[in-house]
Structure 1
Amino acid sequence: MKQRLKKWRLFSIFAILTLVLSGCGEPFLSALKPAGEVAQNQYNLMMLSTMIMVFVIAVVVIIYVITLIRFRRKKGEEDKIPKQVEGSHKLEIIWTVIPILLLLILAVPTVASTFHLGDTSAMDKKDKDGNRKVLVVDVRANLYWWEFSYPDLGIITSQELVVPTDQKVYFNIISSDIKHSFWIPPIGGKLDANNDNVNKFWLEFNSEKSEEAGNLFYGKCAELCGPSHGLMDFKVRTMSQDDFAQWVDDMQNASEPQPATDLAEQGQEIFADSCLSCHATSPTDQTPEAGRVGPNLATFGERTTIAGYLEHDEEHLKAWIRDTQKYKPGNKMPSFDENQLSDQELDALAAYLMGLKIQQQ
């Protein structure tokens, strides 16, 4: 009896935890709170398939319970054999037709959605001047960071994707090394990033849902890619189409960032000697892909995180530079100990990096 009570207590605890955790989804991260057409489509398909599965389970359980009760062994009827229905054409037709109907109910919208969501033909359409009519973003996945290039706008960013709301944004997904997977849970996805072919798809960001999420969504790598897979995050900033046009203008006309203090000026010199071979500081830098070893740092001072997940302040930045493997094992950025970078030089470099913001000409 005590063992049974313990089991029921354990079951009750798990049931309560399930109920509590069901309300933990945040609008900027939860796939169960769709914020775009693609995510809504996928959510509807999930709900449809779940309802079909629940219906099938319920029917099977009901039949099972009825059978247990109706055909249970009764006192005085131990030798009674119920009527046998083996070979019943009626029953065979029923349990053949019903699964076919359920499969059709699920297959028709699934196939229709697959073709609709996979239609990227608009990427190839151009106006009379040869310009694309839609916004295209090239996504390049790396160990363990993300690069976002706007080929028609001449803009490159890293770790933070900026998109307009209420319009389709088309993506070319590729990897520089091993397989990754591009996923923004509330918006839709996921799509593999391979190093031998380009995958294409589109997403749409709903303006009302974006405002509810604070115009900021979290992106993830959804493919196990190494020891820092769980830390391969990026942020998505959404804005109105007018604000996005202004952002594009600001990025295209940004001037070379100038250090605001003597310490930052010293840091600029250190950056040029130690970091410039891997990192660019201009959002319009056109270095070939093979030469873009590290993230573009043009807007580093405006970001919300360091290395994708650390708090954005000088202390965490300096800790990251000192020991990158401690915070993201397996990443390709070298660490700089005291023999390579003194504390004073580290302070200067951090001051310079935190001041990297878009400056207008």
Structure 2
Amino acid sequence: MKRLAKWRLLPLFAVMALLAGCGEPFLSALKPAGEVAQMQYDLMLLSTAIMVGVIVVVTIIFIIVVTRFRRKNDNEIPKQVEGSHKLEMIWTIIPILLLLILAVPTVAATFKLADVSPMEKKGEDGKTEAVVVKVRANLYWWEFEYPNEEILTSQDLVVPTDEKVYFELKASDVKHSFWIPAVGGKMDTNTENVNKFWLEFDGKASDEAGSLFYGKCAELCGPSHALMDFKVKALPRDEFDQWVAAAKAVKEPKQAETAQAQAGQEVFNNSCIGCHAVTPANSTPEQARMGPNLTDFGNRSRVAGVLEHNEENIKKWLKDPEAIKPGNKMTGKYNLSDEEIDAVTEYLMGLKVQ
């Protein structure tokens, strides 16, 4: 009966295996949406084909040996083969050839992906021709700085499509890992050194909202590791330039328009602005970068990176951030009344970069 109970678990494992292969184009590493992702996918297919081929050949040989050379009866002893130079040569040379077939493209791809020389070439103005993004990982949110464009954002990464985008990765607290499954990559962000790599975003791959991809932290970093997401808006070059121009045009914090929003702005300036900047300038003081930059908060698709962007969820976050993201740095900093939360919510919803 115990063995029968164990066999009943097989359907459950089968369903879990099938679900593990499910995914959307903008979320799945098995549906590449860029040059890096395609290279990694091709290498994965090559290695899988080699492994499956080895398994098939070994299985066939095993079946042949078991059936052809089995002992027919108690009085018959199968032919004893002490050794074969030919077989020994075959099973030595074939693994070497398979290793070379896998190693050559892997090494070539590794060197190509490690080439970040364009981000090191700066002109007289100290800027590069390539798009460079400095990524800073924090518990549990992401900051994106554009040194050439002189702007700073959080949670939503905006990049041009169909061209190489270079990244500098660093962490401010503990080790994290930057990964956009559909586009490739996955590299650690450390506190003691800067890692660099590049990605290319395919403009043809998109979800129902447009060229939107999802990024994750791929290194266990604390109780809210699974909730450390960010969004990637991949725009055609002209639209990306328009976004940069609109962000650079924001010189001062946007003024609230309604009476309640004005009250919310006052509460924000007295309680929140010490950690959250509301201008995109990358000259933002370090003390105002303890929390995400909120310049374009009204344009975002998620609250705290995980909740649907609406007033109800903003109020939930402001009221009890620990219930949504355990271990976050905002927990316990503010004790706002319901009226203050309503006012701050309306103010935050009005923070937009057109």
TM range (shorter): over 0.9
1:318–1:346 CA contact under 8 A, matched in 2: yes
The answer for the alignment partner of 2:272 in structure 1 is: 275
The answer for the alignment partner of 1:57 in structure 2 is: 55
Select which of 64, 67, 85 maps to 1:66. 64
In 2, the alpha carbon distance for the partners of 1:139 and 1:49 equals 31
Shift of 1:15: 4.3
Secondary structure, aligned partner of 1:156:
strand
In 1, the alpha carbon distance for the partners of 2:258 and 2:28 equals 42
Secondary structure, aligned partner of 1:43:
helix
Shift of 1:342: 1.5
The answer for the alignment partner of 1:80 in structure 2 is: 76
Q: Are 2:344 and 1:346 equivalent residues in the alignment? A: no
Shift of 1:114: 0.2
Q: Are 2:167 and 1:180 equivalent residues in the alignment? A: no
Change (3 A) 1:196 1:6: closer
Shift of 1:148: 0.3
Secondary structure, aligned partner of 1:254:
coil
Change (3 A) 1:271 1:4: closer
Extract unaligned runs of 5+ from structure 2: none
1:140–1:148 CA contact under 8 A, matched in 2: yes
The answer for the alignment partner of 2:144 in structure 1 is: 148
In 1, the alpha carbon distance for the partners of 2:137 and 2:214 equals 15
C-alpha deviations, 1:319-343, integer Å up to 9, x for none?
A: 1111111111111113467xx3211
In 1, the alpha carbon distance for the partners of 2:162 and 2:208 equals 15
Secondary structure, aligned partner of 2:196:
strand
Q: Are 2:140 and 1:165 equivalent residues in the alignment? A: no
Extract unaligned runs of 5+ from structure 1: none
The answer for the alignment partner of 1:221 in structure 2 is: 217
The answer for the alignment partner of 2:295 in structure 1 is: 298
In 1, the alpha carbon distance for the partners of 2:119 and 2:132 equals 7
CA RMSD of aligned residues (A): 2.1
Q: Which amino acid aligns with 1:231?
A: L
In 1, the alpha carbon distance for the partners of 2:209 and 2:36 equals 17
> TM-score, normalised on structure 1?
0.92
C-alpha deviations, 1:129-171, integer Å up to 9, x for none?
A: 5431101000000000000000111110000000000100000
In 1, the alpha carbon distance for the partners of 2:20 and 2:199 equals 28
C-alpha deviations, 1:257-310, integer Å up to 9, x for none?
A: 111210000000000110010000001151244651111000111101111101
Select which of 33, 51, 76 maps to 1:35. 33
In 2, the alpha carbon distance for the partners of 1:214 and 1:248 equals 18
Greater shift in the superposed pair: 146-155 or 202-211: 202-211
The answer for the alignment partner of 1:355 in structure 2 is: 350
Q: How does 1:5-154 map to 2 (within 5 A)?
A: 7=7, 11=10, 14-15=13-14, 18-19=17-18, 22=21, 24-74=22-72, 77-127=73-123, 129-154=125-150
Identity over aligned residues, as a percent? 62
C-alpha deviations, 1:98-149, integer Å up to 9, x for none?
A: 0000000000000000000010011111345543110100000000000000
2:26–2:207 CA contact under 8 A, matched in 1: no
1:300–1:353 CA contact under 8 A, matched in 2: yes
2:147–2:282 CA contact under 8 A, matched in 1: no
In 2, the alpha carbon distance for the partners of 1:6 and 1:223 equals 33
C-alpha deviations, 1:173-225, integer Å up to 9, x for none?
A: 00001000000000011100000000000000111124777210000000011
> TM-score, normalised on structure 2?
0.94
